[in-house]
Copies of this chain bind each other. A is one copy, B any other.
Amino acid sequence: MTTRESSFGASRVPVAVLGATGAVGQAFVRLLASHPWFELVEVAASERSAGKPYAEAVTWIGDDPIPPAIAGLTVQLSSPAHIRSPVVFSALDAAAAGEAEPAFAKSDRIVLTNARNFRMEPDVPLVIAEVNPDHLDILATQRKQRGWPGAIVANGNCAVIVAAMALAPVQQRYGVRRVFISTMQAVSGAGYPGVASMDILGNVIPYIKDEEPKVEAELCKFLGLRESDHIQHAAMVVSAHTSRVPVQHGHTVVMSVEMTRRADAAEVEAHLGNWRGAPEACRLPSSPERPLAVFKEPDRPQPRRDVDLGKGMTVSVGRVRRDTLFDVRLVAMGHNIIRGAAGASVLNAELMASTGRIPKP
Contact = CB atoms under 8 A, between A and B. Distances in A.
Interface stretch (A68-76, A137-145, A320-328): A320-328
Nearest to A239: B325
Contacts of A318: 206
A171 interface: no
Given A207-B299, A305-B203, A239 B193 contact: no
A130 interface: no
Interface stretch (A158-166, A241-249, A274-282, A339-347): A241-249
B324 A238 contact: yes
A238 B194 CA distance: 35
A29 B240 CA distance: 38
Contacts of A333: 206
Contacts of A299: 205-207
Given A63-B306, A198-B194, A204 B326 contact: no
A202 interface: yes
A323 B239 contact: yes
B194 A329 contact: no
A184 B323 contact: no
Interface in A164-217: 178, 180, 182, 184, 187-188, 192-207, 209, 216
A132 interface: no
Contact of A237 (B209, B298, B324): B324
Contacts of A238: 324-325
Q: Is chain A's binding surface mostly helix, strand, loop or mixed?
A: mixed
A61 interface: yes
Interface in A241-265: 241, 243, 245-248, 252, 254, 256
Contacts of A194: 196-198
Contacts of A199: 61, 193, 197
A232 interface: no
A128 interface: no
Contacts of A195: 196-198
A318 B204 CA distance: 13
Nearest to A23: B198
A302 interface: yes
B203 A200 contact: no
A334 interface: no
B197 A241 contact: no
B193 A302 contact: no
Contacts of A135: none
A331 B206 contact: yes
Nearest to A61: B198
A335 interface: no
A218 B180 CA distance: 21
A303 interface: yes
A119 interface: no
Query: Would you list the 10 A-B pairs with minimal beta carbon distance, nearest first?
Result: A182-B182, A193-B196, A239-B325, A203-B304, A241-B254, A63-B305, A207-B299, A202-B202, A206-B331, A187-B197
8 contacts: A184-B204, A193-B196, A197-B199, A209-B298, A239-B256, A239-B326, A239-B329, A241-B256
